[in-house]
Structure 1
Amino acid sequence: MRLIGAILSQTTAGWLDALTLRLDVVRASAGPLGHTAAILVAVGACVSILLGRSVVLAVNRMRRGGMVFVMALNFVTLVLTYALLGLLVWVTGVLMIGSHVPAEQVVWAVLWACSPLVLGFATAIPVLGPAIDRALMAWSLLILWSIIRDLYATTLWRSGAIALGTFLAVWALSAVYSPLLARIRDVLWRRATGRPLYDSSRYVLEQATIEGSEADLNGWLIEPDRAQHEPDRVEQEPDRVEQRERR
């Protein structure tokens, strides 16, 4: 219990310090305890982002298994994205500053830059959602700026140039590989379950051709408006259900 308390305490303290641009990156990222705290922040960011997108997931009628699957892959993608950001920061630091900070230390430190995304659930607010999303990304950039300045002990403008350059580079790369990852995700889910991750209209129409499926257009559950105009059909449908059960 002491270990869990220590992890939660360091995670909370590091998260609040990151949000207020007062993070001691060397202390917060040191050892297994610091690594665990950084991972918990990433997990919280992933869960919060999915909650923010819950409206879209609900519209597409995503099932619980699909949400867990998407959450796991989004977490992996988020960690890999910030790991890539850390590697780019390390390479840029070596080239521009000549620093010999270990690459692993830079990656773990940069992972704290996703702290604002823990508030990603706020993007579900109607109308304000896109603006909140941009504000969180800008906040993340500011935290990255402060982390680089602290980690490399360099000037304000040089650390800002490294932060902005690497941030834009990762954003451009993610625009390229994100659609590919999404396609791979959908294929894996379809192969594993036999159904698409999102219930598109095309899938519903395909299911409509299968007798007894959840989207069977010939089933006895018909729309109320149609029932008013087709009372004879409503009376005939229970007989059809009995015939199916006898089969």
Structure 2
Amino acid sequence: METLGAILSHAAAGWLDALALRLDVAQASGGLIGHTAAILVAVSACVSILVGRSVVLAVNRMRRGGMVFVMVLNFVTLVLTYALLGLLVWVAGTLVIGVRVPTEEVVWAVLWACSPLVLGFAIAIPVLGTAIDRALSLWSLLILWSIIGDLYATSLLVSGAIALATFLAVWLLSAVYTPLLARARDLLWRRATGRPLYDSARYLLEQAGIEGSEADLDGAAWLVEPDRSRRGRHR
């Protein structure tokens, strides 16, 4: 319990320091507690983003099992995205600044840049959701800027240039691999369960056309029966 308390306290302190752009990278990312705290922030960010997208998930009638499945994959994708960001920062720092910082230290440190995404639930606010999403991304960029400056003890101009370049590079790469991961996710779920990840009216119509039987639509036949009875009364 003491260890859990220490991790939670470390994560909360690091999160607040990151949001305030005063994160002590060596202290926040050092040791097992620092690594676990960084992962905890990433998990919280993933859960918060899923809460923010809950409206879309509800409209698509996602089942509880599907929700857990998506949450796990979103967590993995988020961690991998920021791990890639850390790797790019390490490459840029080594080539541009000429300072060799251990790769794992950079990756663990950069995970703190996702701290603003813990507030991702706010993207569910109507009208303001898109603006909030962009503001959180900008906030993450500013934190990354401060982290690079601390890691490499370089000027604001150089650290800002590296932060912006690596952030844009990850954004471009994610635009390529995110659709591929989404298709792989949907296919994996379909193969494992025999059903699509998202139930929708379009899916019901496709199933009706393929199977040729309303009984195969898992209860959707009642949507059609009333129409048949009304047609019978009009005859």
TM class by smaller structure = over 0.9
Write out aligned runs for 1:180-195 (5 A).
180-195=180-195
TM-score using structure 1 length: 0.88
2:23 is aligned with 1:62: no
Q: What code does the residue aligned with 1:199 have? A: D
TM-score using structure 2 length: 0.93
Q: What code does the residue aligned with 1:158 have? A: V
> In structure 2, what is the equivalent of residue 239 of structure 1?
none
Q: Secondary structure at the match of 2:216?
A: coil
> In structure 2, what is the equivalent of residue 170 of structure 1?
170
2:108 is aligned with 1:108: yes
Q: What code does the residue aligned with 2:184 have? A: I
By relative contact order (CA 8 Å, sep 6+), the higher-ranking structure is 2
Question: Do the aligned residues in 2 keep the contact of 1:89 with 1:166 (CA within 8 Å)?
Answer: yes
> In structure 1, what is the equivalent of residue 127 of structure 2?
127
User: Of 216, 221, 229, which aligns to 1:213?
Assistant: 216
Question: Do the aligned residues in 1 keep the contact of 2:61 with 2:200 (CA within 8 Å)?
Answer: no
Write out aligned runs for 1:32-181 (5 A).
32-181=32-181
Shift of 1:202: 3.3
Shift of 1:231: 7.6
Shift of 1:216: 5.4
Size of the alignment, in residue pairs? Answer: 231
Higher radius of gyration, 1 or 2: 1
Cα distance change of structure 1 residues 218 and 90 upon mapping to structure 2, 3 Å threshold: closer
Q: What code does the residue aligned with 1:98 have? A: G
> In structure 1, what is the equivalent of residue 3 of structure 2?
3
Deviations, residues 201-224 of structure 1 (Å, cap 9, x unaligned): 33211343334334556448745x
Q: Name the CA distance, whole Å, in 2 between partners of 1:60 and 1:31.
A: 42
Q: Secondary structure at the match of 1:166?
A: helix
Give unpaired runs (5+ residues) of structure 2: none
Q: Name the CA distance, whole Å, in 1 between partners of 2:223 and 2:155.
A: 72
Q: Name the CA distance, whole Å, in 2 between partners of 1:222 and 1:153.
A: 71
> In structure 2, what is the equivalent of residue 14 of structure 1?
14
